[in-house]
Protein backbone atom coordinates (compact mmCIF):
# COMPACT_ATOMS: atom_id res chain seq x y z
CA UNK A 1 0.00 0.00 0.00
CA UNK A 2 1.37 3.44 -0.89
CA UNK A 3 2.46 5.94 1.70
CA UNK A 4 -0.01 8.52 0.47
CA UNK A 5 -2.89 6.12 1.04
CA UNK A 6 -1.88 5.90 4.69
CA UNK A 7 -1.47 9.64 5.17
CA UNK A 8 -3.81 11.60 7.36
CA UNK A 9 -4.58 13.89 4.47
CA UNK A 10 -6.00 11.04 2.43
CA UNK A 11 -8.11 9.69 5.28
CA UNK A 12 -9.59 13.07 6.05
CA UNK A 13 -10.51 13.77 2.45
CA UNK A 14 -7.85 16.43 1.77
CA UNK A 15 -8.15 18.14 -1.63
CA UNK A 16 -6.78 16.29 -4.63
CA UNK A 17 -4.41 19.20 -5.39
CA UNK A 18 -2.67 18.66 -2.05
CA UNK A 19 -2.06 15.04 -2.90
CA UNK A 20 -0.76 15.98 -6.32
CA UNK A 21 1.60 18.56 -4.82
CA UNK A 22 2.94 15.88 -2.51
CA UNK A 23 3.57 13.61 -5.45
CA UNK A 24 5.33 16.34 -7.39
CA UNK A 25 7.57 17.18 -4.42
CA UNK A 26 8.44 13.54 -3.91
CA UNK A 27 9.25 13.11 -7.59
CA UNK A 28 11.44 16.21 -7.62
CA UNK A 29 13.31 14.99 -4.57
CA UNK A 30 13.95 11.62 -6.15
CA UNK A 31 15.13 13.23 -9.38
CA UNK A 32 17.49 15.53 -7.49
CA UNK A 33 18.91 12.66 -5.45
CA UNK A 34 19.33 10.59 -8.58
CA UNK A 35 21.19 13.45 -10.25
CA UNK A 36 23.59 13.72 -7.34
CA UNK A 37 24.22 9.99 -7.38
CA UNK A 38 24.86 10.04 -11.12
CA UNK A 39 27.23 12.99 -10.82
CA UNK A 40 29.12 11.30 -8.00
CA UNK A 41 29.43 8.09 -9.97
CA UNK A 42 30.73 9.99 -13.00
CA UNK A 43 33.27 11.88 -10.92
CA UNK A 44 34.60 8.62 -9.48
CA UNK A 45 35.37 7.17 -12.89
CA UNK A 46 39.07 7.05 -13.80
CA UNK A 47 40.33 9.87 -15.99
CA UNK A 48 40.30 8.63 -19.57
CA UNK A 49 43.74 8.14 -21.10
CA UNK A 50 44.37 10.86 -23.70
CA UNK A 51 45.08 9.91 -27.27
CA UNK A 52 48.68 8.80 -27.56
CA UNK A 53 51.02 11.54 -28.75
CA UNK A 54 54.68 11.49 -29.71
CA UNK A 55 57.56 13.27 -28.04
CA UNK A 56 57.68 16.05 -30.61
CA UNK A 57 54.01 16.86 -30.14
CA UNK A 58 54.43 16.79 -26.36
CA UNK A 59 57.34 19.22 -26.65
CA UNK A 60 55.31 21.58 -28.81
CA UNK A 61 52.50 21.44 -26.26
CA UNK A 62 54.96 22.52 -23.56
CA UNK A 63 56.30 25.38 -25.68
CA UNK A 64 52.78 26.58 -26.51
CA UNK A 65 51.98 26.63 -22.81
CA UNK A 66 55.18 28.52 -22.06
CA UNK A 67 54.24 31.12 -24.67
CA UNK A 68 50.94 31.66 -22.85
CA UNK A 69 52.79 31.95 -19.55
CA UNK A 70 55.24 34.52 -20.93
CA UNK A 71 52.32 36.53 -22.37
CA UNK A 72 50.56 36.34 -18.98
CA UNK A 73 47.59 34.76 -20.74
CA UNK A 74 47.28 31.30 -19.18
CA UNK A 75 44.35 29.04 -19.91
CA UNK A 76 41.56 29.51 -17.42
CA UNK A 77 40.84 26.25 -15.66
CA UNK A 78 38.91 24.86 -12.76
CA UNK A 79 41.63 23.12 -10.75
CA UNK A 80 39.02 21.06 -8.91
CA UNK A 81 37.73 19.52 -12.15
CA UNK A 82 38.71 15.90 -12.41
CA UNK A 83 40.17 15.79 -8.90
CA UNK A 84 38.26 12.65 -7.91
CA UNK A 85 39.05 10.93 -11.22
CA UNK A 86 42.75 11.66 -10.74
CA UNK A 87 42.74 9.60 -7.55
CA UNK A 88 42.31 6.53 -9.75
CA UNK A 89 44.79 7.18 -12.57
CA UNK A 90 47.23 9.70 -14.04
CA UNK A 91 48.32 10.33 -17.62
CA UNK A 92 51.15 12.93 -17.73
CA UNK A 93 52.17 13.77 -21.29
CA UNK A 94 55.67 14.93 -20.29
CA UNK A 95 58.26 14.35 -17.59
CA UNK A 96 60.36 17.29 -16.38
CA UNK A 97 63.76 17.31 -14.65
CA UNK A 98 63.70 20.66 -12.90
CA UNK A 99 65.83 22.56 -10.43
CA UNK A 100 64.40 22.82 -6.92
CA UNK A 101 64.74 26.61 -7.17
CA UNK A 102 61.56 28.17 -5.76
CA UNK A 103 61.37 30.59 -8.69
CA UNK A 104 60.96 27.78 -11.23
CA UNK A 105 57.57 26.06 -11.17
CA UNK A 106 57.14 23.75 -14.21
CA UNK A 107 53.32 23.55 -14.06
CA UNK A 108 53.15 27.35 -14.14
CA UNK A 109 55.98 27.86 -16.62
CA UNK A 110 54.31 25.53 -19.12
CA UNK A 111 50.71 26.47 -18.22
CA UNK A 112 49.66 22.91 -17.47
CA UNK A 113 47.16 21.55 -15.00
CA UNK A 114 47.20 18.79 -12.39
CA UNK A 115 48.06 15.42 -13.88
CA UNK A 116 49.75 16.82 -16.99
CA UNK A 117 53.41 16.77 -15.89
CA UNK A 118 55.52 14.19 -14.05
CA UNK A 119 58.17 16.31 -12.32
CA UNK A 120 61.48 15.33 -10.72
CA UNK A 121 63.12 18.26 -8.89
CA UNK A 122 66.58 18.58 -7.37
CA UNK A 123 68.90 21.56 -6.90
CA UNK A 124 70.95 21.76 -10.09
CA UNK A 125 68.49 19.74 -12.25
CA UNK A 126 70.78 16.74 -12.62
CA UNK A 127 69.89 13.05 -12.73
CA UNK A 128 71.02 10.70 -9.94
CA UNK A 129 69.94 7.11 -9.38
CA UNK A 130 66.71 8.06 -7.62
CA UNK A 131 65.79 10.58 -10.28
CA UNK A 132 66.57 8.06 -13.01
CA UNK A 133 64.32 5.49 -11.37
CA UNK A 134 61.49 8.01 -11.20
CA UNK A 135 61.91 8.92 -14.86
CA UNK A 136 61.96 5.26 -15.85
CA UNK A 137 58.66 4.89 -14.04
CA UNK A 138 57.27 7.91 -15.88
CA UNK A 139 58.34 6.51 -19.25
CA UNK A 140 57.65 2.80 -18.85
CA UNK A 141 54.63 2.77 -16.55
CA UNK A 142 52.93 6.12 -17.16
CA UNK A 143 53.88 6.09 -20.86
CA UNK A 144 55.16 9.66 -20.90
CA UNK A 145 56.68 10.21 -24.38
CA UNK A 146 58.93 13.14 -23.42
CA UNK A 147 61.56 14.01 -20.83
CA UNK A 148 62.66 17.64 -20.70
CA UNK A 149 65.72 18.60 -18.64
CA UNK A 150 65.04 22.18 -17.59
CA UNK A 151 67.91 24.38 -16.40
CA UNK A 152 67.53 28.04 -15.52
CA UNK A 153 69.54 31.25 -15.47
CA UNK A 154 71.40 32.34 -12.33
CA UNK A 155 71.32 28.82 -10.88
CA UNK A 156 72.72 28.84 -7.35
CA UNK A 157 73.75 25.18 -7.47
CA UNK A 158 75.82 25.71 -10.61
CA UNK A 159 77.27 28.95 -9.23
CA UNK A 160 78.32 27.18 -6.03
CA UNK A 161 79.96 24.42 -8.05
CA UNK A 162 81.97 27.00 -9.97
CA UNK A 163 83.11 28.48 -6.66
CA UNK A 164 84.23 25.08 -5.39
CA UNK A 165 86.04 24.20 -8.63
CA UNK A 166 87.79 27.58 -8.86
CA UNK A 167 88.50 28.30 -5.23
CA UNK A 168 88.32 24.99 -3.40
CA UNK A 169 85.52 26.29 -1.17
CA UNK A 170 84.32 23.81 1.46
CA UNK A 171 80.56 23.48 1.78
CA UNK A 172 78.71 22.02 4.78
CA UNK A 173 76.54 18.95 5.25
CA UNK A 174 75.48 16.96 2.21
CA UNK A 175 75.72 19.90 -0.21
CA UNK A 176 79.03 18.56 -1.65
CA UNK A 177 77.05 15.68 -3.19
CA UNK A 178 75.27 18.24 -5.37
CA UNK A 179 78.61 19.78 -6.31
CA UNK A 180 80.06 16.47 -7.44
CA UNK A 181 77.06 15.85 -9.68
CA UNK A 182 77.40 19.24 -11.36
CA UNK A 183 81.22 19.39 -11.46
CA UNK A 184 81.53 17.68 -14.91
CA UNK A 185 79.47 20.48 -16.47
CA UNK A 186 81.70 23.18 -14.97
CA UNK A 187 84.83 21.39 -16.18
CA UNK A 188 83.34 21.10 -19.68
CA UNK A 189 82.43 24.80 -19.71
CA UNK A 190 85.92 25.80 -18.59
CA UNK A 191 87.37 24.00 -21.59
CA UNK A 192 85.25 26.20 -23.85
CA UNK A 193 86.88 29.36 -22.41
CA UNK A 194 83.42 30.92 -22.29
CA UNK A 195 83.21 34.59 -21.30
CA UNK A 196 80.23 33.79 -19.05
CA UNK A 197 81.19 30.63 -17.19
CA UNK A 198 77.92 30.44 -15.25
CA UNK A 199 75.82 30.54 -18.42
CA UNK A 200 78.06 28.04 -20.20
CA UNK A 201 78.14 25.65 -17.24
CA UNK A 202 74.36 25.83 -16.80
CA UNK A 203 73.82 24.88 -20.44
CA UNK A 204 76.51 22.19 -20.29
CA UNK A 205 74.79 20.71 -17.24
CA UNK A 206 71.52 20.44 -19.17
CA UNK A 207 73.19 18.83 -22.18
CA UNK A 208 75.17 16.32 -20.13
CA UNK A 209 72.02 15.17 -18.34
CA UNK A 210 70.07 14.94 -21.59
CA UNK A 211 72.78 12.64 -22.93
CA UNK A 212 72.79 10.56 -19.76
CA UNK A 213 69.05 10.02 -20.03
CA UNK A 214 69.17 9.16 -23.72
CA UNK A 215 71.76 6.45 -23.08
CA UNK A 216 70.48 5.19 -19.70
CA UNK A 217 70.05 1.44 -19.80
CA UNK A 218 68.00 -0.65 -19.77
CA UNK A 219 64.72 1.25 -20.06
CA UNK A 220 65.21 4.76 -21.40
CA UNK A 221 67.80 3.99 -24.09
CA UNK A 222 65.57 1.23 -25.45
CA UNK A 223 62.52 3.50 -25.58
CA UNK A 224 64.59 6.18 -27.32
CA UNK A 225 65.77 3.61 -29.88
CA UNK A 226 62.18 2.51 -30.44
CA UNK A 227 61.14 6.15 -30.89
CA UNK A 228 58.76 5.88 -27.96
CA UNK A 229 60.66 8.52 -25.97
CA UNK A 230 62.15 11.91 -26.77
CA UNK A 231 64.68 13.54 -24.44
CA UNK A 232 65.30 17.27 -24.80
CA UNK A 233 66.86 20.13 -22.87
CA UNK A 234 65.79 23.69 -22.21
CA UNK A 235 66.76 26.83 -20.32
CA UNK A 236 64.28 28.89 -18.30
CA UNK A 237 65.01 32.63 -18.19
CA UNK A 238 64.13 33.87 -14.72
CA UNK A 239 63.59 37.46 -15.83
CA UNK A 240 61.11 36.69 -18.62
CA UNK A 241 59.82 33.18 -17.93
CA UNK A 242 60.70 32.10 -21.47
CA UNK A 243 62.01 28.59 -22.09
CA UNK A 244 64.56 28.19 -24.88
CA UNK A 245 65.46 24.75 -26.21
CA UNK A 246 69.14 23.79 -26.12
Strand partners, 232: 148
Distances (CA, A) of 152 to 41, 199, 231: 43, 9, 17
Count each helix (H run) and each strand (E run) in the chain, helices first. Answer: 10, 5
pLDDT tens for each residue of 18-30: 444 554 444 444 3
For 201-216, the pLDDT digits (tens) are 999 999 999 999 999 9
Distance of CA 10 to the CA centre of its chain: 62
pLDDT digits (tens, 9 = 90+) for 90-149: 999 999 999 999 999 999 999 999 999 999 999 999 999 999 999 999 999 999 999 999
Question: Which pLDDT score, from 0 to 100, does residue 78 have?
Answer: 81
In the chain, the largest separation of any two C-alpha atoms, in whole Å, equals 102
CATH code for the structural domain at 55-245: 3.40.1050.10
CB atoms within 10 A of CB 94: 26
The confidence score (pLDDT) of residue 27 equals: 44
Cβ count within 10 A of residue 118: 22
Q: Is the peptide bond before 195 cis (omega within 30 degrees of 0)?
A: no
Q: What average pLDDT does the chain have?
A: 86
pTM of the complete model: 0.81
Instruction: Count Cβ atoms below 10 Å from residue 72 Cβ, excluding itself.
Output: 7
Condensed to tens digits (0 to 9), the pLDDT of residues 86-104 reads: 999 999 999 999 999 999 9
Q: Is residue 230 a contact partner of residue 59, using CB atoms and an 8 Å limit?
A: yes
Q: What's the chain's length in residues?
A: 246
Amino acid sequence: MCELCLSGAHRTGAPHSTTRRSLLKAGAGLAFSGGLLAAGAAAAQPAPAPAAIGGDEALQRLLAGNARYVANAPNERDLSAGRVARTISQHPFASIVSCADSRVAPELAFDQGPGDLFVVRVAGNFVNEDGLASLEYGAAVLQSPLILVLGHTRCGAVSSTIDVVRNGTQLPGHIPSLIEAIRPAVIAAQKENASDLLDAATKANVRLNVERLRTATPILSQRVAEKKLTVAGGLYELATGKVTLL
